[in-house]
Amino acid sequence: MDTQFRALGGNPIAPELAINLRQFIFGTAAVPVRCEWTTTALNFAPPKEEHAYGLVSPRNGTRGLLSVLQGFILKNLLFKRSLSRILGGGPPPADLLRPSEEQQIDALIASMVEILTQISEADKFIVALPGEESFIAHSITYFQDAITEKLYLFQLDSKGALETFLKRNIHFYTAEDCPGAMLFLYSAVLTRTIEKTRSDMDIKGPGTVSLVGNKEEGSLNIVTLLLTGRATPYIHNGVIHAGDENSYAAPQYGTLNRCSIGLLLWENEKKQTTILQPGSRLKTPHLPIWITSCIGYFGVVFNNNQDLLRNYHAESRFDLVYYSCSGNEVSMTIDNRGLKEFNAAMDNQKAESTSSSLSGPAPTEGKEELMNTPLIHLIHTKWGDAYITFHCPTSVVRCLFSN
């Protein structure tokens, strides 16, 4: 393996870089890396079955990274061949969400390439893959993790070269219990460079700060790095100069351009939700796909109508699907038509035994309790006056964020 990597132009990681990489991403190189990062692969649900579009993993610190990848995978599955579907040459959206194994891998590679292209400058990429030989010894300052100290770094000078390289080596990311999530994060940081990623995070003052952070499903900085190309903690539009009477106003760089995929966020604390509310460049992306952070749980909400956010009438009433990498899926209808039209529509619809109206004026059993469901609050950060009908048992909605 090592001989092959050298023949392909791979360079062994320098000990100093290995230590800096571990320290920046995980906070220290002197203790073991949390095991979920060394064992979480980029794995899908079984192909051609329900949820075949979805990445799956236990709840752990890789979930934020996986959720962004999931958003781009949905973009590639649903919208990459949009023109052929318009002309009648492509499968319906429902079939697009049941991809074959080959289509799963193609969508994964396309998503990895798109994310790294956003991060890179002038289409220069660094991809990290583990060999067999260790290039830094175990010591009091460096605790070996069986991956970082064995890395080979491959520099690729075009988007096409990156795609070809990933196709040849995708098994390093998808094999059972492989460190696929960790390798992709390493490649993203190395492509951006540690120095620029640290600058993105706007770290001030002493103390240990890590990219991964201490949240159970990972930090918002990882999400913004993969989603926008910069690991900024700020999700407002553009640049804001913040300061007070005792300090100069310093620039805080938020989202500089409208994104193809958006971000929605809701926390239990109203003040925290208000401070962290995304700007319009994230709330209203080009495509109807949003990465979500809801009381510390990452997921994705999406719709298969590419023109949803460009058509006022389409956005008056439409369906959304919420998916998390735990394998949970919840479908819902978002109704923005107002009280009178909503009541008229409800009068003409028969209640379905598997559906529960959890928001809006219509009386519903347990409505007061269900109105506090975190997913309701999350959706209302984008569509504040919407009436939301979940098409699943209420018990599923209640338990969605409880484990």
pLDDT tens digits for range 280-324:
999 999 999 999 999 999 999 999 999 999 988 899 999 999 999
Does residue 54 surpass a pLDDT of 80? yes
Confidence band of 57 (pLDDT split at 50, 70, 90): very high
Exposed, middle or buried: residue 275 (CB in 10 Å: 0-12, 13-18, 19+)? exposed
Tokens 């023949």 — which residue?
A: 7
The predicted structure's pLDDT at residue 353: 44
Does residue 350 surpass a pLDDT of 70? no
Token pair for 174: 């998808």
pLDDT digits (tens, 9 = 90+) for 69-125: 999 999 999 998 655 555 556 677 778 999 999 999 999 999 999 999 999 989 999
Does residue 197 surpass a pLDDT of 60? yes
Mean pLDDT of 162-183: 97
Q: Which of 157, 71, 83 is nearest to 110 (CA)?
A: 71
Confidence band of 331 (pLDDT split at 50, 70, 90): very high
Q: Which of 263, 187, 260 is nearest to 232 (CA)?
A: 263
Q: In this structure, what DSSP letter does residue 136 have?
A: S
Q: What is the pTM of this model?
A: 0.90
Mean pLDDT of 206-234: 91
- CA-CA distance, 128 to 116, in Å (whole number)? 13
Going from the C-alpha of 314 to that of each of 94, 280, 310, the distances in angstroms are 19, 19, 8
More confident residue, 65 or 361: 65
The predicted structure's pLDDT at residue 132: 96
